[in-house]
Amino acid sequence: MTARTPEERHDGHRGGDGYGVPDGHGHRPGGAGPPDGPHADGPGPLIGRSVPRKEDPRLLTGRGRFVDDLTEPGVLHAQFVRSTVAHGEVTALDLDAVRRVPGVVAAFDATDLGLGDITARLHRPPEEFTETAMPVLARRRVRYIGEPLAVVVARDPYAAEDGLEAARVAYDEREPVVSEAAALADGAPLVHEAAARNTLVDVAPFATEGIDDVFAAAHRVVRVEARTGRQNALPLETRGALAHWDDRAEQLVLRTCTQVPHQVRTVAAGCLGLDERAVRVVVPDMGGGFGLKCVVGREEIATAAAALRLRRPVKWIEDRKDALTASFLAREQHYDVRAAFAADGRILGLDADIVCDMGAYSCYPFTAGIEPLMAAAELPGVYRVPAYRVRGRAVTTNKAPSAPYRGVSRPQYVMVMERLFERAARELGVDAVELRRRNLITDFPYTGINGITYDPGSYRESLDLCERTLREEGWYERRDAAAAAGRRLGIGYACFNERTGYGSAAFAQRRMDMVPGYDLAEVRMDPGGAVSVTTGTMSHGQSHETTLAQIAADVLGLDLAKVKLHQGDTDRVPYGWGTFASRSVTIGGSAVRLAAERLGEKLRRLAAARWDVPWEETELHRGTVRRRDVRDTEVPAVPYAELAALAHFRAHLLPKDLEPGLTATASFDVFHDGTFSNATHGVVAALDEDTGGITLLRYVCVEDCGVAINPQVVEGQCRGGIAQGIAGALFEQITYDERGEPSATGFLDYKVPTAQEIPDITLFHLETPCASNATGAKGVGEGGTIGAPAAVLNAVNDALRATGTELDTLPVTPEAVHRALHGA
Amino acid sequence: MTARTPEERHDGHRGGDGYGVPDGHGHRPGGAGPPDGPHADGPGPLIGRSVPRKEDPRLLTGRGRFVDDLTEPGVLHAQFVRSTVAHGEVTALDLDAVRRVPGVVAAFDATDLGLGDITARLHRPPEEFTETAMPVLARRRVRYIGEPLAVVVARDPYAAEDGLEAARVAYDEREPVVSEAAALADGAPLVHEAAARNTLVDVAPFATEGIDDVFAAAHRVVRVEARTGRQNALPLETRGALAHWDDRAEQLVLRTCTQVPHQVRTVAAGCLGLDERAVRVVVPDMGGGFGLKCVVGREEIATAAAALRLRRPVKWIEDRKDALTASFLAREQHYDVRAAFAADGRILGLDADIVCDMGAYSCYPFTAGIEPLMAAAELPGVYRVPAYRVRGRAVTTNKAPSAPYRGVSRPQYVMVMERLFERAARELGVDAVELRRRNLITDFPYTGINGITYDPGSYRESLDLCERTLREEGWYERRDAAAAAGRRLGIGYACFNERTGYGSAAFAQRRMDMVPGYDLAEVRMDPGGAVSVTTGTMSHGQSHETTLAQIAADVLGLDLAKVKLHQGDTDRVPYGWGTFASRSVTIGGSAVRLAAERLGEKLRRLAAARWDVPWEETELHRGTVRRRDVRDTEVPAVPYAELAALAHFRAHLLPKDLEPGLTATASFDVFHDGTFSNATHGVVAALDEDTGGITLLRYVCVEDCGVAINPQVVEGQCRGGIAQGIAGALFEQITYDERGEPSATGFLDYKVPTAQEIPDITLFHLETPCASNATGAKGVGEGGTIGAPAAVLNAVNDALRATGTELDTLPVTPEAVHRALHGA
């Protein structure tokens, strides 16, 4: 491995710069970052260095503080009376006995609290979008088992649980809608009685003229009908909140684990009838989110309402049963997709019907629309697709509602596309990797049939490197030898790109009510020269305390220890959209960089005034400002600390155009189609002939997320994402019986892979920097999860090749494999 | 009482606009504020209206939260081992037994903690200023009884107290220096062994050429040698702190009751060896400060150090004994002043020698210099003094150190000047009020012999109104009738001005190390149109939550309920100098006004972009922006909420030059001599012939603090200040015996007046707006306290007139009066 030159870094992608490779090369040494920052020779550019995580000292020594670690004097504890029927009318809700339970302080139902609804909105015509509202507590109609009906507040959590048992609820049950097919059936019961149908979203954004003729004339048409299972994003830390009224600040302080603190503020203020400024959302350490915590939960709001009502602190911590059954689920989608191919293997057209089962509600802020809209827009992915027709629908069912989950629709639609290519390869009699090569986008920027312009990526190179690695490791020979020996080994791939850092252009296109495009950063230097960075994004495990600090420290030429990130406090930044869609380093990080540059300019102006030279003639250099035009020995550089002391303590001496203090703010938004990370995943799977058991033997991921601010962090994101992708590919699923009863209420039923089930993963990193933001990074929070299901499923199908059976449903289970091997 | 016209308001002062007058007029009705704001017709300009205090609902219902109301999980409690000798070397300090006391967790002495010193600095030559350092815990030398030697940390406050008793301290005692005379004596023991003398500050800033000739040629020379007693500022809430380390923020969070949060941060960071950004000072509700809390206490820092060391929350709450003996004291000054008068009563010259007894240390940030420097610079006060010589000294003694106390040196030097005028009047045989009239400054701006330029004030008018009131109420007749009947009634006056809102010009002149000139404000509108104002000042009872909100609401034409002030959090504003020197409304309020105006401009720019007109063609109007040039019916006004939603939620639609969010910041500083409030106080006192007891029968205060943002608040400041001034005039004093033992350790010894001892006070308000700041206000936090001692002492002396004795020492006690009446 060679250190990168600036030319290499900024001149497009290049291969071979792997880290974590098993050949012992280890991590890239530090100091190889861009030398073109404002400091010519700082303490070593920090971008691209795997500096140790700033989060680690506290998290690894047990000093992290999560919501459940927080308390307030006199705190009370909330739990929720929840519906035990999936669909019905509540005919009686009697909380009197609850209130008599020892230790119970209060119990409130929807009428008691009188809160506004949680509403997610799109600006679309009614035939495309049905607006529904989610009440904080169910009023009369209940729509899923686990839906909150009342909040019980008690002196301790045990008394609150006792209180739940004393609630008396009577229902007039209705027939539940428990599948997307049932939801779409004629005469289906309506989940939302005021709506005309169970279809909440129904869009058909693309229909290439003459596409039917394309299909009619095609050499081959292959079809995949695929289903993906309903999953829970399963953050280690369940949801929770601690709310109290701060009389001095005249604010409801809501400490909760959310990816989107300001959006929680907006919704909470709306539901509670408070000014937004009267709500302060504070987020402590978080044990994961994965999208489940980027929607606003009813329980947070109800907890806040109880605290307001009682004027006492109220805490709610979700247990795992509620997390699995009554929080937010994801991933349940149905695809029926046909692809037309020419004889030479070129894809000629794509015709897709996508139905997403959203469960009972459109959640805020990401309506039911987000999944079908994203799938419909981005299905073609890394391939040149000349003709495209798609219909995307979201249906409502009597199941726990959905939230975006790491990758959103991409793990599903990538799986479908990659299945199509594997199937076409079989039918065309060509190698599936070769077939992909013939169709991959290689000329950038490329504007697709979907109107999206793709910035440069290493689509072809990542596939080549991934395949070469497996080939050189001898897996192809082993597969053939195994087959010869009657054992079943398969190799599967997935190629994909991932639009990251959606800016306002993308969200405005989706016609969302609130357009989460920009994000803000503030960089503030204290009187001694140490720096605080405040961001509107919200790390819930992504190491932003390290990576965003690296960005600011790099600009200013400061030691990383002198830069501290603050996040998760709605009072500290005017607004922030939070962390989702791999947007934090691309958008939030760009804002940090711009703000740091502005602060650097202020420092240079301060020093320039002292020398009476234009500020452009100065430069930042290792925590000082120096003159560009003279040697240090003639005009000594001025340390930041000296300038900072001036700006704070002797501000009357400042140049007239500079205000006291040293603070700079910046915003960053993406006004185009965004940027695209890409990767190829390659998997080797072995099947157990007797049990159908699936063992993953090898995992190779060639990832290109542009500039890797901290390669070790990128690696962590990839490894975690791949593990989560494998979880969805092979293990995790929540099913519902005909009553709408969820199958999984704990880890006995909800099968979560352990380290044992995750193979050794080798990561390679290609770097095609993003040219359209300030960091060059493309985002990597979701990528791992996106590629794994497709690659795993393809590997299983490759192992099943001799059976002639192909499996298109996730998770792919030993039962399904056994059936494929041995019949029903 | 008539409502004010704008001409009246802005055209200099005018009389008769009293409130709280006893003729039943009551408070000025609302709605009489300046109509020249940017909104032509808002919900009623708020400036000048006695709107109810926003603080009251929480404070009056017991929901205020003071430091002692706060806690943290696992909190420990600190108390301090204190010196029992006034001057000596600690030869042994044994904490082993302390650490064995049940419940004691730790005990630390200076060596254990290894902290940096607290140092206050002036940039003056060594003959003028001796720099001394105050260790957080005494090292070897102890300099006053009560000086902290070690901090004991225990599970509860009682165990901590038990721990103190187990400490074994041995001293090598030295002769204590317990008076300013002893400090200045040849061969005096040195309080600071490294210093050359006990004089810490020795300045002689003015010496008019030929002044000795002026005195030699004068018609009369009168002399006053005066002493004022050592007092405690006596906030209802004693000092206290709760410190803990926040692992996530990587910050020491120090919650303490201070007037100067950022300055505490600066000092704490310095002593603890932390970056400033790594210290967050948060101030909850405060029960008064009066200057005692505008210096940095050793105990706060030691508490923080203990929390850092133990990595556990540590709380310290001062008891009243420590507050009286070991916190900060004030006011002990000695004046020897001669005044030369012409035969026509004109003052010809002033020759002053001022010695301030600062106790053991120069405190941070206000060095021992602040009292003699202020007294020396401002002694001439409201009078035209053509020749001036002054020497001002600060000496160190073995008593608890000093902090500024409401009015700083002014209650003392005003008392001296007013005594001089009363004495001169007797000697010249003219009425003392008339003598003042002949010498008052009436032509403004006036640049005095001290180089200070005084902005317009109502010096003459306030004296006239004050005298007229007492005259019309018949007090002069009653005095004469009493004298005729052998009873003793006296009438006394005090005329004074008060420089307020010292900006950087004033502090830079004093050559302070840190120049507290500017202050900052941020005004932020939330997405719904509600406003948060953040200030660097720190209300500790002055109602800033109300008055600063009034300023912002007035600019923006918003209902007061829509504006909320935030203060007391060092993370929320880059720096702030805090609240002292009546600077908050003059400087902080001006910054708020400017920031609000900038926010208003942003709103107008947003609306203007929609109409495609220059923003100057728009105006703010009752929470909307409207076009100036067309009628509402043609182009409807745009509500702030609509603009704010755009700026936050759909920021991609903003004009290019506006960033997302709606935040504006501003700073304000005073680059000239500042502004001067003024007042005349008139007092009627009766003496008890038998006991020497002094009863105040009547108190009239004619106050001019410029624009009164909230007259009720002004009145509260005046009444409280007068009561505190009377306390110093008649009651409160801490004396020391020859061992340096303080006389008062509780309220049995330290005599605090109750409502019973305070007479009915009538307030009149004249309004000469300040033309040099953005609010027109001049500051009123200290005025009441400044005038009372002089007026009370003059009234007592007037009542003693027949005895021929005059008293020049404060407090003036029944013993002294009895002696004057009946001899020793």
Condensed to tens digits (0 to 9), the pLDDT of residues B716-766 reads 999 999 999 999 999 999 999 999 999 999 999 999 999 999 999 999 999
Q: Kindly report the nearest CA distance between residue A587 and chain B, in angstroms.
A: 14
pLDDT in tens, B374-417: 999 999 999 999 999 999 999 999 999 999 999 999 999 999 99
Predicted-complex ipTM score? 0.93
- For residue A522, what is the nearest residue in chain B, using CA coordinates? B574
Q: What is the pLDDT of residue B656?
A: 87
Q: What number of H helices and E strands is found in chain A? A: 22, 33
Evaluate if residue B16 carries a pLDDT over 80. no
Which of A162-166, B367-371, B504-508 bottoms out in mean pLDDT, i.e. has the lowest? Answer: B504-508
The pLDDT tens digits for A595-624 are 999 999 999 999 999 999 999 999 999 999
Q: How far is A58 from chain B (nearest CA, A)?
A: 6
- CB A649 to CB B526 under 8 A? no
Q: What is the mean pLDDT of chain A?
A: 93
Whole-angstrom distance, CA of residue A265 vs CA of residue A249: 15
Q: Which of B247, B518, B528 sits opposite A65 (nearest CB)?
A: B247
Confidence of residue A503 (pLDDT cuts 50, 70, 90): confident
C-alpha distance from A557 to closest chain B C-alpha (Å): 17
Nearest to A248 among B58, B278, B531 (CB): B58
Report the pLDDT value the prediction gives residue A556, as an integer from 0 to 100: 97
Give the residue on A whose Cα is nearest the Cα of B563.
Answer: A277
Question: Which residue of A75, A244, A257, A277 to mutate against B (max B Cβ within 10 Å)?
Answer: A277
* pLDDT above 70: residue A37: no
pLDDT band at B10 (very low <50, low <70, confident <90, very high): very low
Q: Which long-range contacts (CB under 8 A, 24 or more apart) does B632-637 make?
A: B635/B611
Position A2 confidence tier, pLDDT thresholds 50, 70, 90: very low
Check if the beta carbon of residue B138 is closer than 8 Å to that of residue B148: yes
Å between A175 CA and nearest CA of chain B: 40
Contact A248 B277 (CB under 8 A): no
d(CA B1, CA B18): 8
Cis peptide before A811 (omega within 30 of 0): yes
| Cβ <8 Å between B515 and A277 | no
Chain B residues touching A672 at Cβ < 8 A: none
Q: What span, in angstroms and rounded, lies between the C-alpha atoms of B191 and B174?
A: 10
Q: Which of B527, B566, B663 is nearest residue A276 as measured by Cβ atoms?
A: B527
CA distance A548 to chain B (A): 14
- pLDDT tens for each residue of B702-711: 999 999 999 9
Q: Which of A75, A643, A652 to mutate to test the interface with B (most CBs of B within 10 A)?
A: A652
CB within 8 Å: B277 and A531: yes
Nearest to B555 by CA among B618, B601, B606: B601
CB atoms within 10 A of CB B676: 31
Substitution target in A275, A312, A570 with the highest count of B β-carbons within 10 Å is A275
Q: Among B285, B515, B659, whose Cβ lies nearest the Cβ of A667?
A: B659
Nearest to A63 among B247, B514, B659 (CB): B247
Q: Which of B266, B575, B652 sits opposite A517 (nearest CB)?
A: B652
Beta strands in B120-234 (DSSP E): 133-134, 141-142, 148-154, 168-173, 199-207, 220-228, 231-232
List chain B residues with CB under 8 Å of A526.
275-277
- Please state, in angstroms and rounded to a whole number, the distance separating the CA atoms of residues A261 and A580: 12
Q: A438-447 long-range CB contacts below 8 Å, 24 or more apart?
A: A438/A344, A438/A345, A438/A346, A439/A345, A439/A346, A439/A347, A439/A383, A439/A384, A440/A382, A440/A383, A440/A384, A440/A495, A441/A382, A441/A383, A441/A384, A446/A384
B58 and A661 in contact by Cβ < 8 A?
Answer: no
Closest to A775 (Cα-Cα) out of A40, A202, A46, A4: A46
Assess whether pLDDT exceeds 90 at residue B178: yes
| A43 pLDDT more than 70 | no
Please tell me the distance from the alpha carbon of residue B811 to that of residue A221, in angstroms, as a whole number: 104
Q: What pLDDT, on a 0 to 100 scale, did the predictor assign at position B546? A: 98
- Model's pTM, two decimal places? 0.94
User: A816-820, B23-27, B190-194: lowest mean pLDDT where?
Assistant: B23-27
Q: Among B649, B663, B667, B668, pick the best mutation site for testing chain A contact (most A Cβ within 10 A).
A: B649
What pLDDT, on the 0 to 100 scale, is given for residue A255?
98
Tell me if A230 sits within 8 A of A330, measured CB to CB.
Answer: yes
Angle between the N-to-C axes of helices A711-726 and A783-799, in degrees from 0 to 180, rounded to the nearest 10:
50
Torsion sign across C-alpha atoms B184, B188, B192, B195: positive
- A549: closest CA of chain B, how far (Å): 13
Give the one of B247, B514, B526 whose C-beta lies nearest to A275's C-beta.
B526
Q: Is the pLDDT of residue B564 over 60?
A: yes
Phi and psi at residue A211, in whole multiples of 5°? -65, -30
Residue in B with minimal Cα distance to A251: B564
**Which member of A284, A503, A572 has the closest CB to residue B248?**
A284
User: A517 and B65: CB-CB below 8 Å?
Assistant: no
pLDDT of residue B35: 34
Pull the structure tokens for residue B777: 């206000």
Does residue A345 carry a pLDDT above 80? yes
Cα-only R_g, chain B: 28
What sign does the dihedral B86-B90-B94-B95 (CA atoms) show?
A: positive
B492 token code pair? 């006394």
Which residue of B lies nearest to A527 if distances are taken between CA atoms?
Answer: B276
CB A778 within 8 A of CB A500: yes
Q: How many CB atoms lie within 10 A of CB B484?
A: 8
> Which pLDDT score, from 0 to 100, does residue B27 have?
26
Residues of B in contact with A571 (CB under 8 A): 532, 566, 572
Report the pLDDT averaged over residues B446-454.
Answer: 96
Q: Would the CB atoms of A530 and B277 count as touching at under 8 Å?
A: yes
Q: Are A493 and A680 in contact (CB under 8 A)?
A: yes
Encoding tokens for residue A2? 């060679």
**Are B666 and A648 an interchain contact pair (Cβ–Cβ within 8 Å)?**
no
Print burial letters for B226-260: b (CB count within 10 Å at least 16), e (below 16). bebbbbbbbbebbbbbbbbbebbbbbbbbbbbbbb
Question: What's the average model confidence in pLDDT over B75-94?
Answer: 98
> Which residues of A are less than 8 Å from B659 in CB distance?
520, 665-667
Mean pLDDT value of segment A665-685: 95
Q: Dump pLDDT digits (tens) for A397-408.
A: 999 999 999 999
pLDDT of residue A407: 95
pLDDT score, position B22:
29
Residues A242-286 pLDDT 10s: 999 999 999 999 999 999 999 999 999 999 999 999 999 999 999
| Pick from A518, A652, A669: CB nearest B504 | A652
Closest residue of chain B to A71, computed from CA coordinates: B73
In DSSP terms, which residues pair with A77 in a beta bridge? Answer: A154, A315
Query: Using CB atoms, which residue from B250, B666, B667 is nearest to A564?
Result: B250
Whole-number pLDDT of residue B208: 98
Least CB-CB distance to B669: which of A276, A513, A652? A652
- CB contact under 8 Å between B651 and A517, yes or no, is yes
> What is the reported pLDDT for A824?
75
Q: Is B122 helix (H, G, I), strand (E, B) or coil?
A: strand
Q: Which of A526, A587, A640, A656 to mutate to test the interface with B (most CBs of B within 10 A)?
A: A526
Cα A415 from chain centre: 18
Q: Which of A276, A514, A524 sits opposite B528 (nearest CB)?
A: A276
One-letter identity of residue B121 = R
Question: How many Cβ atoms are within 10 Å of A219's Cβ, its own excluded?
Answer: 15
Mean pLDDT of A446-451: 96
Residue B38 has pLDDT above 50, yes or no: no
Are A278 and B504 in contact (CB < 8 Å)? no
A667 contacts in chain B (CB < 8 Å): 651, 659-661
**The pLDDT value given to residue A32:** 32
Q: Which residues of B touch A564 (CB under 8 A)?
A: 249-250, 277-278
Chain A contact set for B527 (CB, 8 A):
266, 276, 575
For A516-580, give the secondary structure using H, E and C.
CCCEEEEEEECCCCCEEEEECCCCCCCCHHHHHHHHHHHHHCCCHHHEEEECCECCCCCCCCCCC
pLDDT at B18: 32
Query: Residue A365 region, left (φ>0) first, then alpha (ψ -120 to 50), else beta?
Result: alpha
Distance from CA of B522 to the nearest CA of A (A): 11
Looking at residue B400, what is its pLDDT?
97
Average pLDDT, chain B: 93
- Closest residue of chain B to A263, computed from CA coordinates: B649
Kindly list the residues from chain A whose CB atom is less than 8 angstroms away from the CB atom of residue B648. 574-575
- Among the partner-chain residues A266, A276, A530, the one whose CB lies closest to the CB of B276 is A530
Question: Of all residues in chain A, what percent carry a pLDDT higher than 90?
Answer: 89
Q: Which residues of A62-72 are buried (b: 16+ CB within 10 A; e: fewer)?
A: eebeebbebeb
The domains found in chain B, sorted by start residue, are 1-32+455-502+673-824 (3.30.365.10), 35-64+518-668 (3.30.365.10), 183-230+329-438 (3.30.365.10), 234-326 (3.30.365.10)
Inform me whether the pLDDT recorded for A413 exceeds 90. yes
Using the 8-state DSSP alphabet, how is residue A119 labeled? E
Q: Which residues in chain B have Cβ-Cβ distances shorter than 8 Å to A508?
A: 650, 652
* d(CA B804, nearest CA chain A) in Å: 53
B23-35 pLDDT, tens digit each: 322 223 233 333 3
